[in-house]
Amino acid sequence: MRLRGDDPVSKPSHYQLRLPDGESIEAIDYIQAVLGDDMFISYCHGSALKYLSRAGRKLDFAQDLRKAAWFATRAAQVVEERNGPSF
C-alpha cells in the first residue's frame, strides 16, 4: 500500500525516522551526517551499483533504474557542494 505523499524512489515513507525530540529526519540525511561526505559518496555509489545490478529482478525495472539514478545524483550533489560544479 502506498501512503499519500509517499514517493518510493526519492522519499519512501518507511525511511522517515522520528527523533526523541519529536522531530523527524530522513534516513539518508542521518546516514550522511554519521558517515561524512567521503564515505557517504561511496555509500551512494555502492547503492547505485546495487540497484543497477538487480534491475528488474526484485522491483520493476524502471523503478530500479530510477533508484540507481537517484543515488548517483545525490552523490554528485555532495561532490558539487564540496568542490563546485565541474564542466
Cell 547503492, residue located: 47
Q: Which amino acid is at 5?
A: G
Looking at the domain assignment, is residue 75 inside a domain? yes
How many residues would you count in the chain?
87
pLDDT score for 4: 47
Look at residue 79 and tell me if it is in a domain: yes
> How far is it, in rounded angstroms, from Cα 63 to Cα 81?
27
Residue bearing the bigger pLDDT, 40 or 17: 40
Q: How many domains does the chain have?
A: 1
| 3 belongs to a structural domain | no
Three-state SS at 7: strand
Residue 6 lies in a domain: no
| 4 within domain boundaries | no
Q: What is the average pLDDT across 49-56?
A: 93
In a domain, 55, yes or no: yes
Q: Is the pLDDT of residue 61 over 70?
A: yes
Report yes or no on 69 lying in a domain. yes
The pLDDT of 46-75, averaged and rounded, is 93
Whether residue 43 is predicted with pLDDT greater than 90 in this model: the reply is yes
Contact in structure between 34 and 61 (CB atoms under 8 Å) = no
pTM above 0.85, yes or no: no
- Residue 78: domain span: 13-83
- Residue 33: inside a domain: yes
